Each structure stands twice: as C-alpha cells, then as structure tokens.
Amino acid sequence: MESEKDEKKRIKEEKKRQKLEKFLQKKTQEVSVTKPRGEYKSGGYDPMEIESKWYKYWESNGLFKPMRSEKKYVIPIPPPNVTGNLHIGHAMMVSIQDAICRYKRMCGYEVLYIPGTDHAGIATQSVVSKQLAKEGVVDVDRGRFLKRAWEWKNTHGSKIYEQFKRLGTSVDFSRERFTLDPGMSDAVSEAFVRLYEKGLIYREPKIVNWCGKLCTTISDLEVNHEEIEPNTVIQVDGGMYEFGVIYHVKYPLTTCAEYKGCVSELPSVEIATTRPETILGDTAICANANDERFGSDGIRKMFGDVSRDTKVYGVNPLTKRVIPVIFDDYADMSFGTGVLKVTPAHDANDFELSKRHGLECIVVFDENNKVSVEGEFKGLGRFEARKAVICDLKSMGLYVGKKGHPQVIPRCSRSNDVIEPMIKSQWWMDCKEMARKAIDVVRNGEMDILPPGAEKQWYKWLENIRDWCLSRQLWWGHRIPAYRVSDGQWVVGRTKEEAYEKMRKEYPECKCTIDEMEQDEDVLDTWFSSGLWPFAVLGWPNIADDYARYYPTTLLETGSDILFFWVARMAMLGIELTRKIPFDQVLLHGIVRDAHGRKMSKSLGNVIDPIFVIDGCSLNELIATMKSGNLDEKEVKVAEAALRKDFPNGIPRCGADALRFTLLSYTSGMKDINLDVLRVEGYRRFCNKIWNAQKFVKMMVDEAKDCLSSECGYAEYTLNVSDLTNGFDSGPIEWILMKRNETIEYVKEMMEMYKFMEATQAIHQFFMYDICDVFIEIVKGNKEKMYVSVLLTVFIDSMKIFHPFMPFITEEVFSSYFDTSISTSEYPVSDGNAHNNNFGATLQLVKHLRGLLETNGPGGMNVLEIVPGPEINHHDLKFIHLLCRRICSVEILCDYDERFLDFGGTKAYLRKIE
C-alpha cells in the first residue's frame, strides 16, 4: 500500500516533470519557425505532404495563444479520458470547437482554447488492471499499481495531444491540464473542504450501486437499465443464470415474539420476489394497513381464537428468525400477493422503509458478491446461492413455484456486471439546493443550452436529483481529504496537518496522534474533479491571472450524452464555489455512429481512430490494432468479421481537412450522425478541386504580373472592400461579387448560430458552383487585370471562409500569396453594395442550354441563335459559349419562328453543326 510519504514524493516528482516540460515547451516556442511557402507540383493534392508542416509553424509562432482584445472567447476542451486514443466522436467535438475558435480569432476576438485530459478513474483502473492481468501480474499493491497507471497516462496522454495536433486543433498547449496534476488536486481538495464546511458533503450509510466486477460503487448515471424478457438466461458472475422470473415463497407467521418450533406447521403468507437469495437479509414483512389478512378477523382465521390485540410476526424462512410485520402504504394490495419481503441492506426502497420503521439492516453479500452471512450458504456466489436457497425452501415445503415475468436488470455501464444494491458508509453531496440554482440560471436566461429544446432534459433531471455518492473504491484518482480519528469519527482537511488541528478542536477528548490518523482509502468520483474543470483549469482557487481574466468561460461544447454526467455538475459546482455561472452557453452535439447507425463499440469492431482516416489504413492494420486491445476471444471474432465487411479495402487516405469538413457537414443540433467513410473520401476529392483551382488562379495572377511588373506583390491583385463598392460594368463580376456578399453574410449568420451543416454547405456551393463552374470558366477567356483581380479576391475570401473548417489546405493556399498566417487574417466582410444580378438571367439560360445539349446527345458542336429579352444583357451573351463548351458561337437575331424556345422572354434555338 502506498504510504503518504511515497505519495508526496510522487507529487513532487510530477511537479518537477511538468515544470521541465513547460520550460522546454517555452524554449521551443521562443524559436519562431519561418513560414513555409506553398509548393505547387504537377501532381494532385497530397494531404500528408501539406498537413505535416503547418502545425509546427502555428504553434512555434504562438498563433494559438490569446491575443489581447476587448472581446474575449474562452472554450475549455472537454478533457478526453486517458484510457486510449481519441475516436471519431472526439474528432467531431474538436472539429466543432476548433471551427468556432478559428472563426472567432479571425473576427478579432481574444480566443483562449484550453486543452487537457481526464484521469477517468474507473475506466483507466479497468484498462490498467486488464493490462496487468494479460502480463500475468497479480497481487499488485497500491504503489505499484499507481506507478503503472502513471506510465499508461504519460503514454496515452501524449498520443491524445498528438492526435489533437494532427486534427489541426488550435489549443494553447502552454496551458494544458490533467485532472490529477498537483494544481488540479489542490483545487479538488479545496472544493471538497469548502463544500463539507458548508454542510453539503456528509458521510452516511446508504444504498449504493455496487459493481462486484470492479469492486466499487458507481453513480446512478453509470447504471444501464436492461429490459429482460421472461425466462432469459444471461451470463454473469462467471456462470449462466435465469432472469425474468418471479419466485413465490411462503413466509411463516406466528403470534410469538420468539419461535423455536417447526416453521412448516405455521400459517403463512405468500410473497413474490425476484431475489430469493436476499431472504437471508430479510428483517421484516410489509403489508398494507388495509389488508384484511392482518386485521383481527384475518388473524383469528389463521390462528383461531386469539384476542383482538394479538400481534402477528413473520418468520424468516431461512434463518428462522422472528421478524416484525410492518404496515406501510408502500405495500400495494393490487400488485403481486400484496405483501412484501423487506431487505433493507440490498434494496433502496426497503432501505427507506427501514428508516421509517426502525428496522435492522443485514448485509448478505461481501464486496465480491459472495454470501457473507454465517451458515450453510456462506461463500456462495449470489446467483449460486439463489439455486441453493430454492432447494432449501423446497425441502421445507415453503417454495410455491416460479413464473416468467419481464424484468429490468441494472447493469454497470463500464463492466456490464449486474449491479448489487448494497448498504455502505460513503461520502455524499446534497445536491438539491445546487440543482435549484442550476435550474434557475437556465430559466432566467443567464445560461443558454443549445440547440433549443435541450433545456427540457436539463429541468427533468435536475428537478428529480438525488444526493450524489462521491466515494469510489479505487486507487486511481483523488484520495478523499478525510481522516479517521476514531470509530465513526472523521475529520476533513486540505492536508493531514490541517485535519489534525481540526481534530484537536472538534474532538478534544480524542487521543489520536497525527501518525495514527488514517486517510480515507477511497477516491472521489471522477465527475467531481471534472465538475471543477472550467474554473480549476484557470487556476482556481487562486483568483488572479487567468482566472481573473478569462472566467467565466464563454462556451461549453460537448456531447449530448454527458449533459447530466458532467455539464449539470459543472454548473452546480461552479455556481456554488465561485458564485458565477461557469459558462455563458452550452452547445450540445449528437453521437457519432457507424454507417449502419450502430453506436461505436470496440467489441463491434466499428470504433475508428481519426488518424486511420487521415493517413489511411489497410484492413490488416485495422484488425491488428483491434486485436492489440483488451477484447476477449469471442469479441475479437465479432469485431474482425465487422471490419472485413465494412472495410474490405481498408480506409483510404483522406486527410484531416476532409475529415473535419465531413463531420461538420453532418452536424445538425443533437441529431446522431451515421458516419460513412466514403463521404470523407468525397470531400478528399473536393480538396483536390481546391488544389487544382489554386493552381489555375496562381497561373492567371502570375501571367498578369509578368505583363506588368515582376516586383508587383500579390496583394496588389486583391481588392479591398472600398474597391468593391464602386460597381463594375461586367455582368459576371457584379454577379460573383453579389454571390460573395451573400455567402459571407449567410455563413457568418450560421456560424453565430452554431449551424455548421448550413455553413459548410453554403461555402461549398459558392466555391464549387459559383467560382469554379462559372467564374473560373469566364476568366479563362477574359484575362484582363480586373477579372483576374476579382477572381483572386473571391478565391482568397473563400479560403478564409473555409479556414475554420479546413485549416491546413487553406493555410497552404494562403501562403502562396502572403507571408502572414491565414489564421490571423481578418474574416471577410460584405462590401455592402447591392450588385446587380442581371447576369443571373444569363446563367439561367446557360442551365437550360446545358440541358438541351445533353438531350441532343454527345458529339458535334452547336450554334446558338438568340433573340435577347429584357433580362439578358447583350454584353453577357459572349460568355455563353465559355460556359457551354459545345456552343461554338452565338448569333443575335431580331426575329424568331416556331422552332425557338422561350426562356423568360429570351427566345433561343440550338442549331447543331455536324
């Protein structure tokens, strides 16, 4: 077991390691990296080549550090668990957050995007334990286990940060945090002590959710309630056992407070139960006060001529112990047999009954789910004990029978073990008043939960909140800052020394020395430390520096599945401890599922590492990675079959930009996403479209420069807002500038509303169908400086709009023209000019003509004979043959006949030339 001295030594070493890391990081960042120039080779777009160089440039030049501004925007990243690598769900999370941060930077905000990782108590302890078991290591003490856990954290925490970088996440790594860092540990101890001193934390025996597989309590939110059909056999506790069954048992009744005779000869009442093994802990029978069986007439019917005030007792059919019959409205006469067995130590409702009626609590099972009650059943597993109990009841003639019945089984979300309700003395937090405050700040509009409608779930959960069990029987986590000084007496303190001084004041009669004080072996629920995240990462309880400047934070963006696990607790703890709402807005996104709509799970073989999508991955690599995990043999077979079916050719190399853009294009409120990797591949081809467009634009600009002066900079060819307000004679220029304005205004509106699907669709359409399909085609035949300047202007503006979604390729393109980073450039603004849209009518005609050309069949050329209407500008007709390649010329006529088609007043006829 790790001594306090060893733990202090470990904390000291960890502080030294972090100090060294920050020093080295600072030195690295002091050496600015010269901006790489975009290199345009004859080949196609290669994401590996482009993306590998830019993150070092951004980070080394401090571009992700907050730049002073009156407008601040702060996002603390929801810290991923150090249990393993990031998955696609994390990739969507950081794609959303990073798009917001990059957009806000370009809009002039002082952006602080804080990275970090979570120690993930139960999950990490579980994976490290499995790893040790694989190595054949048994009987590990606390110190040795923690050493391995820290090794695991250092390995996987580094991988997570590398994944952040590969995804282009613009976090400030100089401020990275880990929930077990010394500073975070100090914040956790401070929070626990303050809440305890306020009377909000207390220690008390209550029913907990006990997971025997992990040997710890878990919260209500970590319990899955599985509906079981009648007579279902499931695997649990190392065997196959039947669930979905109600057993009927006779409970003997007596009028004697003590009974030593044969119970089978006594009158009895039939009771139905799903858990006959807990009869060993029954300490009462509960009936409704209106139940006539226990009225004076009913008692006489059972026991003959007895006095009217005769009291009836029950007899525990297994222990033969006489137990009281209590009367409570909890017994529903219309349900089952109308009478209940009461097992206070293993049922939450029975525990409440015991408090109302002063019943004894007898714990039936130990922490390994084996019978702990003395007697013939001791040492049996709980479900093996069930079989033995039924055999015993049958031998006494007290077993009536069983029948199938639907049942809801509580299962641990971590281990899938069947939860055992068990009474334990634990540390609890009274949440009622904190929950009320968290409800009020949303109702009053002081904190927004988005998308609209999500607040209903917030109210529903917080209005029905129960006290929170904080204790966890683990080694990996924050030790509870409480010290036992005598039986049943505990003292809470930030340090052992502080706790000792408190003991001397609170328990002056206690003779315990400081060396005899024992710190609680348990650790705190992970969600307690995570609940402090938005203010602890900024230095709380120190309220200077970052905390003073950046708290409260602006936005908490996270998955809708942890609204209550995490977000509600942050709100409650933040309001209580800082007297401030920890964030202005909460933005929720849905869950990423596979292409078939299944939740991603390692055992299904559908968990995708984002790096596999970025770099590409063969089928053999996918299978090898899956097998290197902790799946059992059966799960490996299922997972391998799924991988072979879904990725027969592996995953193609797509790049981070394509993955980010895909995930953002899927994102719509809290709707779940069914991710198809083929769609990512489609956006990888779109990146190639950007690449090819860039090569053309640069060629056009370079040709124009050569015609004037080779010393002329590229900035000379981009137009500012004042240039655009003058208006132009050219219909195509007016039209593309109008489309530019519309796109800028619409995308900005969608970004402010966090509507990423709409924002990505708008810029994608503008680039594909307005710039590439129309304006680039026109510029190919009109290479005047004004056309080239407008093309470069709208092209660069489109790159700026794309940048929050596709940071790498846009930086590469921007670097071909400018020495500064696109990430710190100003976001495009509308020129405010109402450019005319006359050219739009010409484009509508082009659309119809393209349809006619398709109808005419392949091959051949066409002459367009046209009588222009009022919507068509004569000057724009020359562009038609540029946009319709199979039209070799346009002839303007003054008259027409029945062959001509009417396009909104314009009459046109296509004459094919063979």
What does the H/E/C string look like for 361-418? CCCCECCCCEECCCCCCCCCEHHHHHHHHHHHHHHCCCEEEEEECCEEEEEECCCCCE
CATH number, domain 4-40+64-197+427-480+520-589: 3.40.50.620
- 118 to each of 477, 531, 768, how far by Cα in Å? 10, 11, 41
Token pair for 870: 């009022």
- Radius of gyration over every alpha carbon of the chain, rounded to an integer in angstroms: 36
Higher-confidence position of 910 and 694: 694
Pairing of strands 523-524, 489-492: unpaired
Q: Would you say 230 and 245 are in contact if contact means Cβ atoms under 8 Å apart?
A: yes
H or E stretch including 571?
helix 568-578
Residue 453, sorted as left (phi over 0), alpha (psi -120 to 50) or beta, turns out to be left
Q: Would you say 751 and 103 are in contact if contact means Cβ atoms under 8 Å apart?
A: yes
* Closest C-alpha to 77, from 163, 146, 154: 163
Q: Would you say 660 and 650 are in contact if contact means Cβ atoms under 8 Å apart?
A: no
Q: Which residue has the tokens 């709980």?
A: 382
pLDDT in tens, 830-877: 988 777 777 887 888 888 777 777 666 666 677 777 777 776 666 677
What is the pLDDT at residue 26? Answer: 44
Higher-confidence position of 897 and 209: 209
Distance separating alpha carbons of residues 66 and 88, to the nearest angstrom: 28
User: Peptide bond preceding 324: is omega within 30 degrees of 0, i.e. cis?
Assistant: no
- 424 to each of 362, 369, 473, how far by Cα in Å? 11, 14, 11
Write down the pTM of the prediction. Answer: 0.88
Distance separating alpha carbons of residues 751 and 452, to the nearest angstrom: 16
Distance separating alpha carbons of residues 86 and 78, to the nearest angstrom: 12
Higher-confidence position of 726 and 518: 518
Residue 885: is it exposed, middle or buried by C-beta count within 10 angstroms (0-12/13-18/19+)? exposed
* Closest C-alpha to 651, from 610, 698, 696, 593: 610
Token pair for 548: 């003073």
* Closest C-alpha to 250, from 233, 267, 234: 267
Average pLDDT, the chain: 89
The distance of Cα 602 from the centroid of its chain, to the nearest Å, equals 16
> What b/e string do you get for 379-397 counting C-beta neighbours within 10 Å, with b at 16 or more?
ebbbbbbbbebbebbeeee
What is the pLDDT at residue 822? Answer: 97
Tell me 567's DSSP state.
I
Distance separating alpha carbons of residues 247 and 274, to the nearest angstrom: 6
CATH number, domain 680-835: 1.10.730.10
Q: Which residue has the tokens 């393993």?
A: 84
Would the pLDDT of 604 be above 50?
yes
Q: Give just the sign of the alpha carbon dihedral 472, 476, 482, 488.
A: positive
Higher-confidence position of 843 and 59: 59
The distance of Cα 49 from the centroid of its chain, to the nearest Å, equals 31
pLDDT in tens, 165-188: 999 999 999 999 999 999 999 999
What is the pLDDT at residue 167? Answer: 98
* One-character DSSP codes across 818-839: -SS-GGGSPPP---------HH
Amino acid at 309: D
Q: Return the CATH class of domain 245-405.
A: alpha beta
H or E stretch including 423?
strand 420-429
What is the pLDDT at residue 11? Answer: 64
Q: What is the mean pLDDT of residues 124-134?
A: 88
Q: Which residue has the tokens 């484009």?
A: 843
Amino acid at 720: N
What is the pLDDT at residue 1? Answer: 45
Q: Would you say 809 and 816 are in contact if contact means Cβ atoms under 8 Å apart?
A: no
Q: Would you say 673 and 667 are in contact if contact means Cβ atoms under 8 Å apart?
A: yes
* Closest C-alpha to 569, from 252, 65, 219: 219
Token pair for 565: 């696990």
Assign domain 839-913 one CATH number from 3.40.50.620, 3.40.640.10, 3.30.2320.20, 1.20.1420.20: 3.30.2320.20
| Cβ neighbours, 10 Å, residue 109 | 19
Would the pLDDT of 710 be above 70?
no
* Residue 354: band (very low, low, confident or very high) from pLDDT cuts 50, 70, 90: very high
For 620, residues 6+ apart whose C-beta sits below 8 A from its C-beta are: 650
What is the pLDDT at residue 51? Answer: 93
Distance separating alpha carbons of residues 28 and 83, to the nearest angstrom: 28
Q: Would you say 247 and 398 are in contact if contact means Cβ atoms under 8 Å apart?
A: no
Token pair for 251: 């409970």
Q: What is the mean pLDDT of residues 689-712?
A: 77
- Residue 284, beta-bridge partner list: 342
- 894 to each of 865, 866, 868, 888, 903, how far by Cα in Å? 10, 8, 8, 20, 16
Length of the chain: 914
What is the pLDDT at residue 31? Answer: 40
The distance of Cα 179 from the centroid of its chain, to the nearest Å, equals 17
Domain ranges of the chain: 4-40+64-197+427-480+520-589, 245-405, 680-835, 839-913
* Closest C-alpha to 828, from 868, 849, 797, 792: 797
Q: What is the maximum span of the chain, computed from C-alpha positions, in angstroms?
A: 122
- Residue 178, beta-bridge partner list: 117
What is the pLDDT at residue 709? Answer: 39
Would the pLDDT of 347 be above 50?
yes
